[in-house]
Structure formats: C-alpha cells, structure tokens
Structure 1
Amino acid sequence: MRGLYSLTALVVSCVTLLSSVVEAKSSTGNRVLVLLDSLAEKESYNQFWHQLQDRQFELVFKKADDSSIALLYFGESLYNHIIHFAPKTDKLSQHKALSNVQLVDFVKNGGNILAATGVDASDNVRALAAEFDIELDTETVFDHTNFDNEDHSLITTNEIIAPTTIIDAKSIEAPVLYTGTGLSVGKLPLSTAILTTGPDSFLADSYNKRTNAVGSITLVGSMQTRNNARVTFVGSLDLFSDKLIDASVKESKSGNQEFIAQLSQWTFQEKSVLKVVGHSHHKQNDTEQLDWYRVKDDIVYDVDIAEYKNDQWVPYKANDVQLEVIMLDPYIRTTLKQVPVQSGSFGRFEANLRLPDRYGVFTFKVNYKRSGLTYILAEDQVSIRPLRHNEYPRFLTAAYPYYASTGSMIVGFLVFSAIWLSTWGGKTSIRATKAKAN
C-alpha cells in the first residue's frame, strides 16, 4: 500500500510538471524563483511581476538569505529560471543552494538567470557576474546631455545595440530611463552587449566628482552559454521599477516597459529559440539514406529547422545556414538554400553537392551559431569509399592526348609500312623477274 501511494504521488508530480511545461510560453518551462534582498521590495516591481504572470509564469518570491531555498529535489531542478534582484545580500556565498557554484551549476543544467544590481552590489554578485564574462562597475553613471528632470544620474538612452533577435529597437519608440551603474562585457563570442549610453556619459562617485570619463558605457549585457542557457545582467534595479515604467520622457511614457518585456522574453527563452527537427542525406534521384557513398557521388543534404515564436514553433527563415563536409578539415563548405515544404512547422534547407575525390570517414555538419539565437548542431558520420576496379571509366578525358599520340603512331607506322612495301617491294620483284629470265 505504501508503494502504491508513492507511485501515485510520483505520477501526479510528473503530470503536474508536464502540464506546466506544455502551458508555459517559455520553451523551457514556467517556474521562476525570485530572489529579493527584502520581501518588502516586491511592491516596487508590481508591473514587471504582472507582465510575467500574464505570460503564464509561476513566480515564487523568496528572501535571498532564506535557508529553506532549494534548487534541486532528488536531482531534478525545481525552477526553470531565476530572477536575481538581491544585489546587497552578502551571505549567499555561504548559502547551501544559492552560492555561485550552485548558480553556475543551475545554468549548466539549462536554467536561465536575469540579474539586476546597482552601485552597492555585493562582492558575491560581482563574482557571479565574472563567471559569465561580465564585470560590474562601482560608480554611478552620469550624463550631462541625456538626463531627465535635472537629475544627471537619471539618464535616458536609445542606444540598443543588441541584434533584433534579442531586442527589436524599432518597436521601442520612447527612450529608456536608467539609473545605476555600468558594466563591461567580455570579448567572448558568447557574450553580447545589449544597451549602452550616449557618448557623453561618465562614471562618478557623486555628481560633482568625476572619476572616469569613459564615453559610451554598457548598461545591460548577456551571455548565452554553449548549452543555450541565457544569463542577463542589468546594472540597475530601478530599470524594472514601477516608478521608471510610469515615468514620462519628453511628454511620452518611457520605453522601460517594452524594453524589459523583450529582455525577459529573450532571457527566459520565449523567443529566438531554434531546434533541429530532422536532417538527412541521400543520392540524387534516390530517397534512401546510406551509411557510405562513393567518391565524387552527387548527393542531396537536407536539414529542417524550427523557430519558437509567438508561443508556437514556426518555420525558420534564413539565407546563411551552411553545411561542412569534414575529415579533420572541411573539404567542402557550402550555403544551404531554403526550399518550400508543403506543410509543417519547420523550414527546410537543402544543398546539392558532389563529394570530394577523397575516401575516408567524413562528417556532414551544420554548426549554426548566430548572436541572439540558440545554437544548433546537426551531425552525420558517413564513409566515402574509393572506386572499385570495375567502376573506373573505360576512357579518361585527361588521357585523350595520350590516346591521340598512340593512334597517330600506329597510323604513321602503317603508312610508312605501306610506302616501304610499295617502293622496295616492287623493285625486289623486278630484279627477281630479270634474274629468272637470264
């Protein structure tokens, strides 16, 4: 009976987990852990919470130093995403579940993190940002040119430099209001700067004490790890506050609401998510996929890619998907062309190619990595064999000059023989006739 109860509980939990994933607008799940320095700060970001709840996320609010927090239960992750709004809590390094080691492991397991900090960020948060190639500044960002309401630390910016796969800058008409510190994004190809200031901004301890005139300063940066988990750091908690969302900029509402909506959608994998539906290869004028081909065979390679957009999988469209035929080094690199499909939620990309005149074990690889999009990898390993003794052509085009020289030599020999026989042979017969007559 006890085993039956355990089995029933397990089935119910699995059904609940599957239903939450199916109903979620995120492609990875809808369970979010929100960490705050104090639960009283929750009211400052009500509009942001309502945004997420309208998108069917289940929010669990916890004080960051709560010792009861756990990220795993019997090896399974309890949350799909973490919102880290606790930059001042300095005891996380000793927390059994929220230390930087645990948070990095959370990302390694596919979880996403959205973190917001400020000038007074703890050393623990700075160390966490450094794990993802981001360095947080220690001073406030000021701008004497682009500011709001005579407060030079409350700056306005339209400098969205992220690709449209992360933020569609054209859809954000009003400037974004920002007050906080800056950050530096590393040079790794996995890292991306999203929002910056204008060229006249600088970092300072106070309004009258300029410490470092640096020009354009990065305000929001992100990293998409190799397993496609996404981590975003923002140098301002106030960016998400109701105060700045409702504030007006040049007689219009600020662009904060739309900006943080798109930023959270990308971070929580609600958009710009790709997956390989299938991939195949076969000889031209054939449909059977083989494990081996012959050198210089003409083959067709197909890969089907879907994109998660507007809560559903739709065909992905692109003109830069490439195929590589590799044996240690690429022997062939060609761009796949998109071809129409009668139905389906994927885009099909196809290449017609001739295999290299080299035998061995080759890999057909599509390794598609673009900023803002999840990385996709499709690989097939095939053998390419040489021609058998009876598969070579009877006559080689490259050998035609040798064939011609051999033929000309034979013709010359015949002509020479005919002339010689007709000349010396006739003389010999005449002499023989004379000798018989005598």
Structure 2
Amino acid sequence: MSKLVVFLFLALIPLLPLLCNSFSPEKPSDRRVLVLLDDFAIKSSHSSFFKPLQSRGFDLDFKLADDPKISLQRYGQYLYDALILFCPTIERFGGSIDAAAILDFVDSGHDLIVAADSNASDLIREIATECGVDFDEDPAAMVVDHSGYAVSATEGDHTLIASDDFIKSDVILGSKKIEAPVLFQGIGHSLNPSNSLVLKVLSASPSAYSANPKSKLTSPPSLTGSSISLVSVVQARNDARILISGSLSMFSNRFFRSGVQKAGSPVKHEKSGNERFLTELSKWVFHERGHLKAVNVQHHKIGEADEPAIYRINDDLEYSVDVYEWSGTSWEPYVADDVQVQFYMMSPYVLKTLSTDGKGRFFTSFKVPDVYGVFQFKVEYQRLGYTSLSLSKQIPVRPFRHNEYERFIPAAYPYYGAAFSMVRISFSRIFAFVFLSLN
C-alpha cells in the first residue's frame, strides 16, 4: 500500500505546477508568457520590448510558431497566462494551436498581444477579426501619411509615420504624458462598430490613408483619416485583455532607439516614444494596472453591526464595500465618485451612488422600499480601462407583522374623528329619545 502511495505522489509531481497555475496580479513572477515567432532573430531584434517584461518578473517562453510541439494546455490546464504573436506571416501554427484554440485561450480569461505587418497572413487577420478589428483587405496596403510622416534622411514613400494621437486614458497609458511621437510602419485597421469592447489606443492623423504605396490610386481608399487605428486594445467581458498592432516593427530595437521628428514640427526628439508607449501599454495588457478587486461587502441596519438574515420594509440600512486597485507592486485604495449600488428585485427599487472615505471604503445608507420579496444588493461597475466589478448579495424583505403596525396612524385621523362624531351623535339621539319618553 505504501509503495502505491509513493508511486502516485511521484506521478503527480510534474502536474503540480499545472494544477496550481492561476492568475494573480500580486505574483507576476508566476506568470508564464508564450511568445510565438516567425524567426528566432526577432528575439534579439525586439529584445528592448522583451527585456522589460522579464525584468518585471514575467517568464517568457520563446517558440517558433510552426513548432510541432507547442501547446497551450495539457491535461485540461493552460500552461501559460498570456500569449504574444510576433509571427505575422504564419499560415498555420504548429502543434495543437489554431485560431479556435487561441480564441478559447482568450475566452478563458488570458491575455493576448498580436502584431501584424504588411505581410500579415489570413490566419492573423482572422484572429484580429474575431477580436473586433478588421485589417485592410488589400494585402499590399500600408498606412501612408503625406503630412504626418517621420522626417528621415531619405524622403521615402511616407509610410514611416510619426503618430501622437493617443487615447486619453491614464489607466491605459499611465499618468505621465508621452512627449515623443511613436514610429509606426505597417497596416491599418478599422474597429468593428458592433463591438463596443474594442478601443483605439493610437490613431492615424486626418491626412492618412491606407493604400499600396507602390501604385497610383485608381479609387478612393477604403480606410482614411482618423478612422484608421494603428494600435487597438480590447477588454473582454471576462476581463481578458488584447493588444492588436498593425506593425511588428514598432516593437523593434531600431524603432525604440531611433530619433523622431514629425513633418511640420520644428522639434526633433532624440528618442521615439515607442518604448514608453509600449511599456505602459504592456503593463495594462498584463493587468499590472487597472485591475480592481472588491472585498469586505457589508450591510446592516443603522445602529447595528451584525448583518441580519432578513430586513423589514421601511428599515434604515447601511451598505459598504472596500475596493482596491493593483498598482503593480501592491493593492492601493481605489478612489472614484461613480460607484453605485442597486437594491434590486426584477428592477432596481433603489439606486444610490456610494460615498468614499478616500481609503478604499465605499458606503451609503437608504430606506428599504415598502415592497416585500427577495432583493439583491448589486454593484455592476464598468469604467474605461479598469476590470469590471460584479457583486451581488441576496436578502429577503418581509412585511410588518400584525403586532408591528402603529396603533394610531396619522393619515387615518380624519376617519378616527368621523367615528367619534358618529358615536357622539348616537349618544345624543339616545339621550333625546329617553328625555322625550320620560316627559
């Protein structure tokens, strides 16, 4: 028997990392990231993007995209917490990975970065389309901008763009302003209007368009102006985060280190904004910023401390919850003025905005409605760039018992007066009848 126990223990040792593998923003060192490449040369040519990730504790596993041994999961457990696709030309993944497997990976709450370029394959385009963005259908198209191009020694075809049209969100790009424009060279994409979860993070200028730079335009471009997205992000309803870029070159060491001067601007920056932009964006994609958690949900009658099993109609109660935001190193109190709670049964009977003490505690008080049934305290919080909060706690509400009603209701005083008036009139008539009978 003891030999059997030892055998089972030794057999389960290799599976322990898989069974214990789960996302925790407090422990980024536990997060494994699979990086699929077209060529191992990308590992060195784009090392300026990879090294900050490794220095922040991420374990990067580099594989060729067509490696027949690659797999995202084993024994039903995912081996990685995030996936980076730096393989724009791949026509078919190796191993057990395909487009459906990658989408299932995201549906399971894992993060994804996709970088395409002018040679993007149909497979990469399909993955991007499923995530809510559509690349230009012309395989030879690139984003061209004759006004917002990056000034260089050679005039070129103006496909090297210097863009500084960033999304205005501190949680996605950090609170410190990105001073230098970002160098971009690749294909543009548009956002699917039916997908409200996808956002433009870096947009083209109004003078940009998408076309084949090596041929003359014979018809109007399908993508023009600020509607062209260069870099987009998606935060799924399960809080998985996706980054989609139309340029693999913007992640390269060359673009990170290059100086940049936007056409028409007298200012020449010694270093492009690519490193700062992509570093801050990767922090958001990998949940190092904008990740919320709610703890210590409490409710009780005013003047009491214990949570009751049931409320009575018209009771005065207090509701509170503690909300914290992950700063990359620790949980910090979250401060906002738009967190709301609903007291809900089929529809919200009470909707209150929670006050905050600035230390993470959100609270409010209200009167239980004059309706009995099974209610819920519900907090459904969604804010740009932050993970969503969805809290619910069920509580029944009962009516007054027969001995809990007020003896005299102020609204019924006219009826009380009418009743006493009738009694007085009746006694007056009896007295009159008796008096007249005796006489």
TM-score bracket for this pair, using the shorter chain length = 0.7 to 0.9
- Could you say if the C-alpha distance between residues 379 and 284 of structure 1 is closer, same or farther in structure 2, counting changes exceeding 3 Å? same
2:328 to 284, 293, 310: 310
Q: Offset at 1:385? A: 0.9
SS in 1 for 2:160: strand
Contact 2:335/2:358 (<8 A) preserved: no
Following superposition, the deviation at residue 224 of structure 1 comes to: 1.3
**Cα displacement string for residues 194-251 of structure 1 (whole angstroms, at most 9, x for unaligned residues):** 1101111111111563441621111111211121111110111111111111111232
Give the match's secondary structure for 2:36. strand
1:39–1:63 Cα contact (<8 Å) kept: yes
Q: 1:203 is matched with which residue?
A: 210
Summarize the alignment of residues 229-244 of structure 1 with structure 2, pairs less than 5 Å apart.
Answer: 229-244=240-255
State the match for 2:109 in structure 1.
Answer: 110
Question: What does 1:35-434 correspond to in 2, within 5 Å?
Answer: 35-92=36-93, 95-137=94-136, 138=138, 139-148=141-150, 149=152, 150-151=155-156, 152-168=158-174, 170-187=176-193, 188-206=195-213, 209-210=216-217, 211-212=220-221, 214-216=224-226, 217-250=228-261, 251-252=268-269, 253-339=271-357, 347-407=360-420
- Shift of the alpha carbon at 1:20? 10
Count of aligned residue pairs for this structure pair: 418
Contact 2:116 2:246 in 1 (8 A): yes
The one-letter code of the counterpart of 1:64 is A
State whether residues 300 and 353 of structure 1, in contact with CA within 8 Å, keep that contact through their aligned partners in structure 2.
Answer: yes
Amino acid at match of 1:402: Y
More divergent stretch after superposition (329-338 vs 213-222): 213-222
| One-letter identity of the residue aligned with 2:285 | T
Q: Could you list the structure 1 runs, at least 4 aligned residues long, displaced by more than 6 angstroms after superposition.
A: 15-24, 412-418
Q: 2: CA distance between counterparts of 1:312 and 1:17?
A: 25
1:14-64 per-residue CA deviation (whole Å, 9 max, x = no partner) reads 47996997897649x421111111112222101111111111111111110
When normalised by structure 1's length, the TM-score is: 0.87
Question: How far 1:407 moved relative to its partner?
Answer: 4.4
Partner-residue secondary structure (3-state), 1:398: helix
* Contact 2:67–2:95 (8 Å) recurs in 1: no
Q: Sequence identity, in percent?
A: 38
Q: 1:288 to 1:340 in 2, by over 3 A?
A: farther
Q: What residue identity is the alignment partner of 1:224?
A: Q
Deviation (angstroms), 1:2: 7.0
CA distance in 2, matches of 1:167, 1:412: 83
1:174 and 1:35 mapped to 2: Cα distance?
29
Aligned counterparts of 2:178 and 2:126: Cα–Cα separation in 1: 32
Partner of 1:344: none
In the alignment, the residues of structure 2 paired with residue 17 and residue 414 of structure 1 have an alpha-carbon distance, to the nearest angstrom, of: 88
Whether the 8 Å contact between 2:66 and 2:95 is mirrored in structure 1 is: no
Q: Is the 8 A contact 1:26 1:269 kept in 2?
A: no
CA drift of 1:339 comes to 2.9
Structure 1 letter corresponding to 2:273: G
Structure 1, residues 324-356: CA drift from partner, whole Å, max 9, x if none? Answer: 111111111111111366xxxxx1111101111
RMSD of aligned residue pairs (Cα, Å): 2.8
CA distance in 1, matches of 2:334, 2:20: 26
Match of 1:379, SS state, is: strand
> In the alignment, is the contact (CA less than 8 A) between 1:23 and 1:56 conserved in 2?
no
Q: Is the CA contact (8 Å cut-off) linking 1:302 and 1:349 kept in structure 2?
A: yes
Q: Extract unaligned runs of 5+ from structure 1.
A: 342-346, 433-438
Offset from partner CA, 1:100-133 (integer Å, 9 cap, x none): 1111111122211011101221111111112211
Q: Secondary structure at the match of 1:128?
A: helix
Mapped contact 1:25–1:55 kept (Cα < 8 A): no
Aligned letter for 1:175?
Answer: P
Q: Distance in 1 between matches of 2:314 and 2:406?
A: 13
Considering fraction of residues, name the structure with more strand.
Answer: 1
Q: In structure 1, how many angstroms separate the alpha carbons of the residues matched to 2:421 and 2:171?
A: 68
TM-score norm. by structure 2 comes to: 0.87
Contact 1:142/1:207 (CA < 8 Å) preserved in 2?
A: no
CA-to-partner distance for each residue in 1:349-394, whole Å, 9 max, x for gaps?
A: 1110111111111111111111211111111011111111111111
SS in 2 for 1:249: coil
Give the Å deviation of 1:8: 5.0
Query: 1:327/1:47 Cα in 2 relative to 1: closer, same or farther (>3 Å)?
Result: same
